Structures are given as C-alpha cells and as structure tokens.
Amino acid sequence: MGNICKSCCGSDDSQNDNDGRNERDPLINGISSRPQGIEPPSGEHSRTGSQVLRKNDEQSALNRILHKAASNVIDVAALDTHGMENHEFTEKAKAYSQKLATAGNVQLKNRSKKRELLPDCTISIERLIAISPLPSSDIDMVRNARLFCFTFEFYFGFRAADDSTIGQRGGSLQTFRGPTYSGPHCRLRNHLIQTFHKGN
C-alpha cells in the first residue's frame, strides 16, 4: 500500500529543497537538535585494513536499514524522547534572537494601506469644493433609474429587489392590485399606470 500511496502522493524525494538541504536539517549548525536513537558505531580506530573497512560498511548499511525502518514506523510514544534539553533549548533560542537582531532590514508588505476599505480623504476642503460636479447626464440617468423602480413597485405591487416580498407573493404578476389602490402615493401610482398603458 505504501508503494501505491507513494505513487499517488509523490515520492519522498520531493520533500528535499532544491539547494540540497533536507527539511529535517537543523537551522543552526553546531547545535545538535535531537538525540539520535541509533548512533553510528564508535571505536575501531586502532584496527586498520580491508577487513575493518568491510565490517564498517556492513555495520553502516545495517544501521541505515534499521534507521529507515524506524523512520517508517508511526511511533507516537516516541514523542517524549524527541524533547530537547533545557540548556539546548535556551541556547538555540538565544542564537535565533541574535541572528534576527543582526539581520538587515527587509521589505515587508504595507498592510495598513492594503486593508483600508474606506480610506480617509486626503484632499483639502477647498479643493474638494472646487472639484467640478457630476455631469447632468449622470444625474438624469440616476433619476430615470429611480423612476423606473417606482414605476415597477407601484404598478406590480412589490419591489423588485425585495426578496421577502417576492417570496411571499411568488414574484408573479398575480400581485397586481389594479387601479383601486388607495395608498399614500395613489395619485402618482395612477398617473404612472396611465402613462404605462398609453405607452402600450
């Protein structure tokens, strides 16, 4: 199953960075990050010769296999053994803070400007007043749009944009109440209905 999943999800090699660094490499060199579960064999310095080398090769190969097998096992209980010593922790924290302190300035996003939905007006009042008004054609267009909305509302008895009303009445022309409407705007409404019928 592991092979199938590997083919679906990509090989583990993709986790390595392009510059040859592994994601598990410590950020700071010289400070051991974690206690190693499997230590390489020590000693053997006094012996020389091909026999020793071969033995070392076999041993390291075995260690590699063992390490690989151990890394593929899900071992939640090993969490406790992965903890760092306190002095190691403080040493690394100090090293990081020193590195941050000595690092040069960086260009960061200007977040205060980016998130302004309604920016403050920076133009002075005199200049704001001196700005030419909206063209009359634009104002006429807005007035006509309003008139159309009023016509629609008074003639058909509901607002086009009012979802609740449309939902109640099904949004159909059955909501037409006829010219006997006696609301506060009946005169205007009757006038609009007459104009509409004349137009047709």
Partner 1 sequence: MAEELKRSIQEVMKATPGVRGVVIGDRDGVPILRVHDETVPETAFRPGFLSSVGFATDQASKLGHGKARHIISIHERHQMIHFQMDPLILTVIADADANTGILLSLDKELSDVMEAVRIAVQ
Residues numbered 17 to 46 that lie near partner 1 (CB under 8 A) are: 17, 21, 23-28, 33-34
Task: Match 């090989």 to its residue by tokens.
Answer: 11
Residues numbered 105 to 134 that lie near partner 1 (CB under 8 A) are: 105-109, 111-112, 115
Considering only CA atoms, which of 80, 81, 67, 75 is closest in space to residue 39?
67
Piece of the chain touching partner 1 by CB under 8 A; list 41-49, 92-100, 122-130, 167-175:
92-100
Burial class (CB in 10 A: 0-12, 13-18, 19+), 111: exposed
Piece of the chain touching partner 1 by CB under 8 A; list 36-44, 86-94, 160-168, 187-195:
86-94
Considering only CA atoms, which of 143, 31, 139 is closest in space to residue 87?
31
Exactly one of 46, 50, 68, 74 binds partner 1 (CB under 8 A); which one?
74
Exactly one of 69, 103, 125, 128 binds partner 1 (CB under 8 A); which one?
103
Exactly one of 72, 132, 174, 180 binds partner 1 (CB under 8 A); which one?
72
11 is a site residue for partner 1 (CB under 8 A): no
DSSP 51-98: HHHHHHHHHHHHHHHHHHHHHHS--GGGGGGGPPPHHHHHHHHHHHHH
148 is a site residue for partner 1 (CB under 8 A): no
Residues numbered 166 to 185 that lie near partner 1 (CB under 8 A) are: none
User: Which are the contacts of 12, defined by CB distance < 8 A and separation ≥ 6?
Assistant: 6
Biggest CA pair distance of the chain: 115
- The least CB distance from residue 116 to partner 1, in Å, is 10
163 is a site residue for partner 1 (CB under 8 A): no
User: Which are the contacts of 188, defined by CB distance < 8 A and separation ≥ 6?
Assistant: 150, 154
Tokens describing residue 149: 């909305």
- The least CB distance from residue 94 to partner 1, in Å, is 10
Site for partner 1, rule CB under 8 A: 1-2, 5-6, 8-10, 15, 17, 21, 23-28, 33-34, 72-76, 78-79, 82-84, 86, 89, 92-93, 96-97, 99-101, 103-109, 111-112, 115
